[in-house]
Amino acid sequence: MDWMLAYQRQEMLTKTLETNEKSERFGLTLTRQDAELLLQERGNALREQKRVEFGGGILPQLIDTFCDSDFICQSNYVETLVRLQEIFYLYKNEVQDNLTDDELLHLMKEQFEFLCFGDLDYLEGTCLSNFAQAVRAGYRGYLATDGRGEYSRFDEVQRWDYELYRETLKELCGR
């Protein structure tokens, strides 16, 4: 049985390192040590959330989804992946597995980029929390959109009107 676990771990390590082929285009790479840390943190997150995962895990898909983000750079890459992985497993539980991995990843990425502007605490504590409440209450509109464009239905925060902001700024600057 130990050889099977060792083989599975090596496969996951290899798949994680293979993500460098895409992510290096965005200036992001993982070392073997980084990948081992991410796999260790994956195990911790799964234990904490009392989840079992078969196959290669979510990490390669998570990297593929987020590597092109404007809010991730090499200096915060590993820490950001650790947090995103933790958030993913937490919210798989919070939505009671009603969302597919792709739906949850799409929702996370969209909010991370366009609403949270890279703020993982806001993503976890506000955006995904609000959405998970709606899903637990029976909302299923995300099924038609694959998780895209859904959060605005539950956003309770008044957002800036960008054009109004620009016009006001022009007036203040006398331009």
Q: Write out pLDDT tens, residues 61-119.
A: 999 999 999 999 999 999 999 999 999 999 999 999 899 999 999 999 999 998 889 99
* Judgement on whether residues 147 and 118 belong to the same structural domain of the protein: yes
Mean per-residue pLDDT over the chain, rounded: 86
What mean pLDDT is predicted for residues 28-33?
95
Q: What pLDDT band is residue 153 in, cutting at 50, 70 and 90?
A: low
* Judgement on whether residues 165 and 134 belong to the same structural domain of the protein: yes
What's the confidence (pLDDT) of residue 52? Answer: 85
User: Alpha-carbon torsion 121, 124, 125, 128, what sign?
Assistant: positive
How many domains does the chain fold into?
Answer: 2
* Judgement on whether residues 116 and 45 belong to the same structural domain of the protein: no
* Judgement on whether residues 129 and 80 belong to the same structural domain of the protein: no
Domain end, chosen from 44, 62, 94, is at 94
Q: What percent of the chain is modeled with pLDDT above 90?
A: 55
Domain end, chosen from 50, 79, 94, is at 94
* Judgement on whether residues 103 and 31 belong to the same structural domain of the protein: no
Residue the block writes with tokens 């909302």 = 139
* Judgement on whether residues 1 and 55 belong to the same structural domain of the protein: yes
What's the confidence (pLDDT) of residue 155? Answer: 63
How far apart are alpha carbons 50 and 76 in whole angstroms? 27
Which segment of 38-52, 103-117, 124-138, 142-156 scores lowest on mean pLDDT?
142-156
* Judgement on whether residues 40 and 110 belong to the same structural domain of the protein: no
* Judgement on whether residues 76 and 134 belong to the same structural domain of the protein: no
Please give the model's pTM, rounded to 2 decimal places: 0.82
* Judgement on whether residues 102 and 171 belong to the same structural domain of the protein: yes
Structural domain that includes position 60: 1-94
What's the confidence (pLDDT) of residue 125? Answer: 94
* Judgement on whether residues 114 and 88 belong to the same structural domain of the protein: no
What is the tens place of the pLDDT at every residue in 17-30?
A: 899 999 999 999 99
* Judgement on whether residues 113 and 41 belong to the same structural domain of the protein: no
* Judgement on whether residues 15 and 88 belong to the same structural domain of the protein: yes
What mean pLDDT is predicted for residues 38-59?
87
Domain end, chosen from 54, 72, 94, is at 94
